[in-house]
Amino acid sequence: VLRVAEGSDLRARAERLDRDDPLAAVRERFVLPPGVYLDGNSLGLLPRAVAARVAQVVRSEWGEGLIGSWNTAGWFALPLRVGDRIARLVGAPPGSVVAGDSTSVQLFNTLVAAARLRPGRSALVTDVANFPTDGYVAGSVARLLGLDLVLVDPSQPLDLDRVLDRHLAVLTLSHVDYRTGVLHDMTAVTAAAHAAGGVVVWDLAHSAGALPVDLLGADADFAVGCTYKYLNGGPGAPAFGFVHPRWADVAEPPLTGWLGHATPFALEPEYRPAAGAARLRVGTPPVLSMAALDAALDVWDGIDLADVRAKSLALTDLFVEAVQERLAPLRVQPVVPREHARRGSQVCLRHLDAYPVVQALIDRGVVGDFREPDLMRFGFTPLTLRHADVLSAVDVLEDVLRTQAWRHPRFAQRSPVT
């Protein structure tokens, strides 16, 4: 049902880019849906290796190995082993990343640990545009620790300068804004926070696996991230937490579950945190979900994040140009930083009727998502998309808008999860 625009310059460019794409073969590592899936920034595609691995964990490791599999199948080591695989993708040294829990839980744990490194300072600073869970968790941490929650608008550099002062305890930001796709300069922002005497907790939900991240190079203190978006770990896959080696033996995370203990099976009465990122472990890890994530990370073998970034920018450039060239008269306005250095791997389109338009697109196999109040959000996953797919999506969008197909009443109906 997807037709292709013939003869345009963009079409020729897309063909050339696909022909020369060093990542072209990688998509075969995934189960590919029909249509154009532009929601890999909400839930990544299923890597082919996952189903067999999960089946093996269920039938053999759990069903036959039972309790012994904590040792023989390496279940106990999974959070740090998987963490090390993620570490490579976010510029973190081995032993500094742990996989587990949800992003919200990881953020709570690292924010409290971060604030405890700056006793006597009063400000927990975050971004008004930050993903709500980050704001909710920051607010809760501020309440628990008696800190002032300070909200800034980082699109205003002067604002940032104003709040990063001697009161700063912790600054927490999303590396890429979940709505606008704005990419922060992690090195510069971290340096500014450090200059003010604070520590920084980065949320990599929309950057891990989407573009090169260099936590160590940027001197980040803590980070958390999500693995079910660009890392294709599966629905609700375990999140991850990073702690810089300089804090790994002094940070005091508040979620003192037994698996973060230095000697968990000694069952000592007093809590003594393990060395390194292991102190970010909390309770027993969800082995089935963790094994799926582990298998999903196989797709990254041999992949250079520089290629991923180059393709991501080519995909979003192509999308924005096609939209501007063909959809300008249809009241569609791209929301995306023009400058590559400020852009993540997504593009939003503003439209007054964004909700039903997104539903009509999904109905025709072009899957994006809606974000309040008027944004159609499209994620561009370089491992699985072709440049031609981008133009196919614009074809469908143009048709939906021109024919006003989105006005059908069934597209107005809200689902519980949007």
Q: Return the number of the residue (123 or 138) whose C-beta is nearest a second copy.
A: 138
136 included as an active-site residue: no
Of the residues 37, 76, 178, 228, which is catalytic? 228
Question: What is the C-alpha to C-alpha distance for residues 112 and 250, in angstroms, rounded to an integer?
Answer: 13
What one-character DSSP code corresponds to residue 414? P
Of the residues 37, 76, 108, 131, which is catalytic? 131
Q: Measured between alpha carbons, how far is residue 272 from residues 26, 75, 244, 261, 296 in Å?
A: 44, 22, 19, 5, 33
Biggest alpha carbon distance in the chain?
Answer: 73
- For the chain, the 3-state helix, strand and coil shares in percent, each to the nearest 5, are 45, 15, 40
Tell me how far, at minimum, the Cβ of 294 lies from a second copy, in Å: 12
265 included as an active-site residue: no
Q: How many CB atoms lie within 10 A of CB 162?
A: 11
Q: Return the number of the residue (179 or 326) whose C-beta is nearest a second copy.
A: 179
311 included as an active-site residue: no
301's tokens? 């073998």
Strand partners, 199: 170
Q: Return the number of the residue (39 or 84) whose C-beta is nearest a second copy.
A: 39
Tracing tokens 């039938």 back to the chain, one arrives at 59
Tell me how far, at minimum, the Cβ of 392 lies from a second copy, in Å: 17
Q: Return the number of the residue (13 or 48) whose C-beta is nearest a second copy.
A: 48
Task: Please name the residue ranges forming H helices in 57-185.
Answer: 69-72, 78-89, 103-116, 132-145, 157-163
Tell me how far, at minimum, the Cβ of 267 lies from a second copy, in Å: 5
Q: Return the number of the residue (61 or 395) whose C-beta is nearest a second copy.
A: 61
Strand partners, 152: 127
121 included as an active-site residue: no
Tell me how far, at minimum, the Cβ of 13 lies from a second copy, in Å: 28
What one-character DSSP code corresponds to residue 44? -
Of the residues 377, 378, 386, 389, which is catalytic? 377
Tell me how far, at minimum, the Cβ of 218 lies from a second copy, in Å: 25
Of the residues 21, 101, 177, 203, which is catalytic? 203
Strand partners, 181: none
Question: What is the C-alpha to C-alpha distance for residues 347 and 380, in angstroms, rounded to an integer?
Answer: 8
Q: Return the number of the residue (190 or 346) whose C-beta is nearest a second copy.
A: 346
Tell me how far, at minimum, the Cβ of 67 lies from a second copy, in Å: 5
What one-character DSSP code corresponds to residue 11? H
Give the 3-state secondary structure of residue 374. coil
Q: Return the number of the residue (247 or 355) whose C-beta is nearest a second copy.
A: 355
- Looking at residue 384, its amino acid is T
DSSP string computed for 191-255 = HHHHHTT-EEEEE-TTTBTTB---TTTTT-SEEEE-SSSTT---TT---EEEE-TTTTTT---S-
Tell me how far, at minimum, the Cβ of 23 lies from a second copy, in Å: 20
Of the residues 27, 118, 179, 229, which is catalytic? 229
Which residues carry out catalysis? 131, 203, 228-229, 377
